[in-house]
Amino acid sequence: MLEELLKRPIIPVIVIENADDAEPLAEALLEGGMDVAEVTFRTAAAAEAIGRIAKRFPEMLLGAGTVLTVEQANRAMAAGATFGVAPGLNPHIVEHYREADELFIPGVMTPSDIEQGMAFDCKLLKFFPAGAAGGVKMLQALAGPYASSGVQFCPTGGINLDNMMDYLSLPIVATIGGSWIATKQQIADKDWTAITRQAREALDRAG
């Protein structure tokens, strides 16, 4: 799963309030060339949305985001999510995913966080909140001591079409997370055409 995920330069970060929007949203992303999504556990509809997408579009690499508890992790995996993501690094969640033999991407912001992730053999770390935590300059600074460690980053937070390549151009960055690909308002408005267009624009920009 990690190898497959690293082939995708952008992971759309999705907040779904209504599970009925899950399938048309996934279809819009696929039409835009994106076969990956992180559905966050910020809403009551998350597990059902993941289940619907996993059943209808098994070709998608489908992750669960904002996984803060073991209970959420279990619901996400049962629904069909094939990887998990969190804003921070909770050792209990990391171990739970390891025991389940599932990919987990913990969030980090400091050198101490990174080294804790390395201790758990996490090869991909979510740098969050990227913009507020120093953005590209912070990642460039972190590349000094950690570039040879084998760890790579998925910065998320404050990234958009205009600055995405600033992040993707860094060798230490493997992929980025982007909530602008499908905004909450666009999903609520069922503006699937805009989401498809934004997915295509982002992939075109990524090359």
Q: By the 8 A CB rule, do 118 and 89 touch?
A: no
Per-domain residue ranges of the chain: 2-206
Q: Rounded to whole angstroms, how far apart are CA atoms 104 and 125?
A: 9
| Averaged pLDDT for residues 172-187 | 97
Return the closest-CA partner of residue 107 out of 129, 131, 135: 129
The predicted pLDDT at position 111 comes to 97
Residues annotated catalytic, as ranges: 38, 126
Categorize the per-residue pLDDT at 188 as very low, low, confident or very high, splitting at 50, 70 and 90: very high
In this structure, whether the domain defined by 2-206 belongs to CATH 3.20.20.70 is answered with: yes
How far is residue 167's CA from residue 26's CA, in Å, rounded to a whole number? 25
Report helix, strand or coil for 15: coil
Its pTM stands at 0.96
Output the CA–CA distances (angstroms, integers) from residue 25 to 37, 123, 180, 187, in the order listed: 10, 29, 14, 7
Structure confidence by residue, pLDDT tens digits, 60-106: 999 999 999 999 999 999 999 999 999 999 999 999 999 999 999 99
Please give the Cα distance from 39 to 60 (Å, whole number).
12
Q: What's the pLDDT tens digit per position in 8-47?
A: 999 999 999 999 999 999 999 999 999 999 999 999 999 9
